[in-house]
Chains A and B, each alone.
Chain A
Amino acid sequence: MKYLSEFRNPEIVEQYIAELHKITTKPWTIMEVCGGQTHSLVKNGILNILPKQITMVHGPGCPVCVTPLTLIDKALYLAEEKNVILCSYGDMIRVPGSKRSLLEAKANGADIRIMYSPLEAVKIAQENPTREVVFFAVGFETTAPANALSVIHAQRLGLKNYSILASHVLVPPAMEAVINDKEAKIEAFLAAGHVCTIMGMSEYEPIVEKYKIPMVVTGFEPVDLLQGILMTVRQLENGEAKLENQYSRVVKPEGNPEAQKVIAKVFRTDDREWRGIGTIPQSGWEVNEEMAAFDANKKFSVNIQKVPECADCIAGQVLKGIKKPFECSQFGKACTPLNPLGAPMVSSEGACAAYYHYSEAMEEALV
Chain B
Amino acid sequence: MPKLDFDVITLGHGSGGVLTNKLLESGVFDLLKNPILDEHHDGAIFELDGKLAFSTDSYVISPVFFPGGNIGELAINGTVNDLAMCGAIPKYLSLSFILEEGLTMTEFWEILLSIKAAAEKSGIFIVTGDTKVVERGKGDKIFINTSGVGQLHPKAAISAKRVQVGDKVIVSGNIATHGIAIMSVREGLDFETSIESDTINLNHTVEALLDTFGNDIHLFRDPTRGGVATVLNEIARDTKLGINIQQKDIPVIEEVYGACELLGLDPLYVANEGVFMAIVSAEIADDCLKKLQTFENGQNAAIIGEVVSEHPRQVVLQSRIGGKRVINMLVGEQLPRIC
How many whole Å from A84's CB to the nearest CB in chain B?
Answer: 16
Say yes or no: B319 contacts A45, CB within 8 Å: yes
Q: Kindly state the separation between the CA atoms of A142 and B325 in the bound complex, as whole angstroms.
A: 28
Q: Kindly state the separation between the CA atoms of A47 and B326 in the bound complex, as whole angstroms.
A: 13
> CB of B310 within 8 A of chain A?
yes
B242: chain A residues within 8 A (beta carbon): 365
Given the interface pairs A14-B322, A45-B322, A357-B328, the reply to whether A194 lies near B339 with Cβ below 8 Å is yes
Q: Kindly state the separation between the CA atoms of A139 and B336 in the bound complex, as whole angstroms.
A: 14
> CB of A162 within 8 A of chain B?
no
Say yes or no: A44 contacts B321, CB within 8 Å: yes
Given the interface pairs A92-B338, A94-B335, A143-B339, the reply to whether A113 lies near B325 with Cβ below 8 Å is no
Binds B, one of A114-122, A266-274, A281-289, A310-318: A114-122
Contact residue among A48, A90, A347 (Cβ-Cβ distance under 8 Å from B324): A48
A63: chain B residues within 8 A (beta carbon): 338-339
How many whole Å from B6's CB to the nearest CB in chain A?
Answer: 29
> CB of A4 within 8 A of chain B?
yes
> CB of B50 within 8 A of chain A?
no
Say yes or no: A359 contacts B339, CB within 8 Å: no
Say yes or no: A4 contacts B261, CB within 8 Å: yes
Which residue, A14, A91, A116, has most C-beta atoms of chain B within 10 A?
Answer: A116
Q: Which of B185-206 contact A (CB under 8 A)?
A: 187-190
Q: Contact mask B283-322 → A, CB, 8 Å, 1/0?
A: 0000000000000000000000000001100101111111
Q: Which of A167-222 contact B (CB under 8 A)?
A: 194, 222
Say yes or no: A362 contacts B337, CB within 8 Å: no
Q: Which of A1-27 contact B (CB under 8 A)?
A: 1, 4, 8-10, 13-14
> CB of A49 within 8 A of chain B?
yes
Contact residue among A89, A338, A359 (Cβ-Cβ distance under 8 Å from B332): A338
Q: Kindly state the separation between the CA atoms of A115 and B337 in the bound complex, as whole angstroms.
A: 10
Which residue, B242, B318, B320, B323, has most C-beta atoms of chain A within 10 A?
Answer: B323
Say yes or no: B264 contacts A348, CB within 8 Å: yes
> CB of B42 within 8 A of chain A?
no
Q: Kindly state the separation between the CA atoms of A348 and B263 in the bound complex, as whole angstroms.
A: 13
Which residue, B261, B264, B332, B336, has most C-beta atoms of chain A within 10 A?
Answer: B264
Given the interface pairs A337-B331, A359-B326, A366-B324, the reply to whether A44 lies near B338 with Cβ below 8 Å is no
Which residue, B319, B321, B332, B337, has most C-beta atoms of chain A within 10 A?
Answer: B321
Q: Contact mask A333-367 → B, CB, 8 Å, 1/0?
A: 00011100000000111000000111101100110
A49: chain B residues within 8 A (beta carbon): 321-323
Q: Kindly state the separation between the CA atoms of A90 and B186 in the bound complex, as whole angstroms.
A: 14
Say yes or no: B325 contacts A362, CB within 8 Å: yes
Say yes or no: B338 contacts A10, CB within 8 Å: no
Q: Which of A30-84 contact B (CB under 8 A)?
A: 36, 39, 42-49, 63-64
Q: Kindly state the separation between the CA atoms of A49 and B323 in the bound complex, as whole angstroms.
A: 6
How many whole Å from A66's CB to the nearest CB in chain B?
Answer: 12
> CB of A86 within 8 A of chain B?
no
Given the interface pairs A1-B261, A362-B314, the reply to whether A45 lies near B332 with Cβ below 8 Å is no
B318: chain A residues within 8 A (beta carbon): 45
Say yes or no: A338 contacts B339, CB within 8 Å: no
A336: chain B residues within 8 A (beta carbon): 331
Q: Which residue on chain B has the smallest CB distance to residue A10?
A: B321
> CB of B49 within 8 A of chain A?
no
Q: Which of A84-105 contact B (CB under 8 A)?
A: 87, 89-94, 103
Q: Which residue on chain B has the smallest CB distance to residue A5?
A: B320
B335: chain A residues within 8 A (beta carbon): 90-91, 93-94, 114
> CB of A138 within 8 A of chain B?
yes
> CB of A331 within 8 A of chain B?
no
> CB of B47 within 8 A of chain A?
no
Q: Which residue on chain B has the smallest CB distance to residue A349?
A: B337
A142: chain B residues within 8 A (beta carbon): 339
> CB of A140 within 8 A of chain B?
yes
Q: Which residue on chain A has the smallest CB distance to residue B191?
A: A116
Given the interface pairs A36-B339, A139-B338, the reply to whether A222 lies near B324 with Cβ below 8 Å is no
Complex A-B: 11 CB contacts under 8 Å? A13-B322, A43-B266, A44-B321, A45-B317, A45-B322, A45-B323, A49-B322, A89-B338, A222-B320, A338-B331, A356-B328
Q: Apart from A42-B325, A94-B335, list 14 A-B contacts with CB within 8 A.
A: A10-B321, A43-B266, A44-B323, A49-B322, A89-B336, A90-B264, A91-B336, A91-B338, A113-B187, A143-B339, A349-B337, A357-B328, A361-B311, A362-B324
Which residues of B line the A interface, CB within 8 A? 187-190, 242, 254, 257-258, 261, 263-264, 266, 310-311, 314, 316-326, 328, 331-332, 335-339
